[in-house]
Chains A and B, each alone.
Chain A
Amino acid sequence: MATATTTIARKRSALTRGQLPSYAPWAVVAAAVILAAAIMALVGFNALGWGVLSAVLFTIGLVTWSAAAEGSRKAKDKLATCLVVGSFLIAVLPLVSVVWIVLVNGLPGLVTPGFLGTSMNGISGLQDNTSVNTGSRVLGGIYHSLMGTLLITLWATVISVPIGLLTSVYLVEYGNDRALARAIRFFVDVMTGIPSIVAGLFAAALFAAISGPGTKTGFVAAVALSVLMIPVVVRSSEEMLKIVPNELREAAYALGVRKWRTILKVVIPTAISGIASGVTLAIARVIGETAPILVTAGFATKINMDVFSGWMSSLPTFIYTQILNPTSPANPGPSVQRAWAAALVLIIMVMLLNLGARLVARFFAPKTGR
């Protein structure tokens, strides 16, 4: 895409006048950086201000020059490019800072032996105080939470992806503009606004009515998470199904293919990459939820692999309690270390999940011409 425009531009430059020389951006960068440094030297130097000022000066400089030499259309294009790249840099700064902080704080805990393989069973402030006072390694791990997160999220996905995907199929392929479809569409939007704690309370109340008060299991948590997950799945897959070109559907119908076969074999595979990314996003949205899990799955320090009975821990509840209620209030260090390491593990998990979604998309997606 990008290469196409530049090659076109280069060919044209031989023929037409009024083009900025190819060294223009570099020259403007150099001028902007020097000028910004000079201004910062006057008001007091700091690196961030210098960077921001340079960027602003660069944009002004390049756009003005382009406006003078190339006319307003090209100048607008340059301005848009600068803004887009600038917004990318603005977005990347805080995000990188978050990741950096998690990495720096999480790595020491992650490499502690036993962190991934053991639970928090039997760990109390005594162990933490000892490890702080004697400098021995921090005991206790996240195995129970890791398993809890995997199982709860797996069940939530198993519940919400079929429901969500089928609903979006209904909306796009069957419902069109019928009143029911409009209602579903609208209420799915409303569902995205359910505060997560309310979803948790709802699931807890539902299961309290079904199987007695205080039913806290991994499955209840999975239901609570599904309430949060379904609208995201519907919303994103609906958008993805919508942009499947109608030509494809019409071609399939013209070949005498049934509608459901067309949807399963043509429409969904075409959109699978987007759907997979939407599902990943939905999982990502709920995998970090704390409040609904606390009220539905309780808080365990032991390994529990049964989603249908007993309390379960998950990584976010683990992180939350370790940060807010350290195991040893007097020496919160080990708890904080475990919390950051657990956050790092959570991010790595989602990274693998993302990778998985991409592989799925690659396996299932039809070959495109692009």
Chain B
Amino acid sequence: MSSNSLTSAGASGRTGDKVFSGFALGAGALILLVLFSVATFLVVQAAPTFVANPSEVAGGEGFWKYILPLVLGTVIAAAIALLIATPVSVGVALFISHFAPRRLAQGFGYIIDLLAAIPSVVYGAWGVAFLAPAMAPGYQWLADNAGWFPLFAGPASATGKTILTAGIVLAVMVIPIVTSLSREIFLQTPKLHEEAALALGATRWEMIRMAVFPFGRPGVVSAIMLGLGRALGETMAVALVLSSGPLIASLIRSGNQTIAAEIALNFPEATGLSLSTLIAAGLVLFVITLAVNMLARWIVGRHKEFSGAN
């Protein structure tokens, strides 16, 4: 990069500044506009549900009675997915960025990126064909030995197509996303910080805890939020894997349902009020994401001082 290309300033530079910042601002505003129109679209389409006679809405007891189990089911599935995916992804990202030999690390990173692209239909097909049958004996064992615990109450599903299996499939889908971003963040930790920590006699783990984690935390939270977005909104994989049913506490029986899968399963045959009910369900999903993101923003906000650009 030659220095004269950088310093050819002047009047054109000033307009350049204005135009460029204008474009940047415009792009941001456009996003707000798009989101606003999506929200309007959702509200308009969903409106009939909220004013309809409760007995006509799916389930016959009004929209809120209908949506509540779905909300809980969505939260359960996403929670299982994140509980599994977060530690594993951070571990894998650390492994690639700080533990694995450099040559291998690049290859691993490449493979993980690749896995983010496998279409959800394939994960769903894998879950049904491979994971669910493999989990079924495990569920049987849990029901026999830990059945007193409400989460593992029997009778276990014979096909293994339970909310736990769906959560695991979601976790497998989320891991590549979270790993890929976290890895990039960890790799950007200032070398000076790391070397300073090591020079003071820190072990590798202490170095990671004191230099890498504080630096990477906001980014990792962002990555997890992206993963959560996918886990909450995933349709096809859950629709294929989960044998849905009413809300139950047990993770190893067939039952529960997520909002996204409910929409995907019933959308093709929906007309009139049932269609607007499904769109209202989409709106609720939207609100859940909003709430979760507010929480995440709050967490990140407390650790702002580590950002490089402040």
Contact = CB atoms under 8 A, between A and B. Distances in A.
A199 B235 CA distance: 13
A369 B100 CA distance: 21
A95 interface: yes
B41 interface: yes
B142 interface: no
B95 A84 contact: yes
Interface string A338-357: 00000100110011011000
Contact of B222 (A239, A280, A323): A239
Interface in B212-270: 218-219, 222-223, 225-226, 229-230, 232-233, 235-236, 259-260, 263-264, 267
B25 A174 contact: yes
Tier of interface size on chain A: 35 or more
A8 B198 CA distance: 10
Nearest to B95: A88
B121 A323 contact: yes
A91 interface: yes
Nearest to B8: A261
Give chain B's interface residue range (CB within 8 Å of chain A): 35 or more
Contact of A291 (B3, B90, B206, B264): B264
A199 B38 contact: yes
A51 interface: no
Interface stretch (A34-42, A201-209, A304-312, A327-335): A201-209
B185 A239 contact: yes
B114 A351 contact: yes
A45 interface: no
Contacts of A18: none
Nearest to A286: B117
B181 A290 contact: no
Given A198-B38, A354-B110, A193 B88 contact: no
25 contacts: A2-B102, A81-B99, A81-B204, A84-B94, A87-B91, A88-B91, A88-B100, A95-B172, A101-B126, A165-B27, A166-B28, A167-B24, A187-B32, A193-B288, A193-B289, A193-B290, A194-B38, A195-B263, A197-B264, A227-B38, A235-B225, A236-B226, A255-B7, A260-B16, A350-B114
Given A80-B205, A189-B293, A235-B225, 11 more contacts: A2-B102, A77-B205, A87-B91, A95-B111, A163-B27, A188-B31, A242-B219, A256-B7, A261-B16, A288-B120, A347-B117
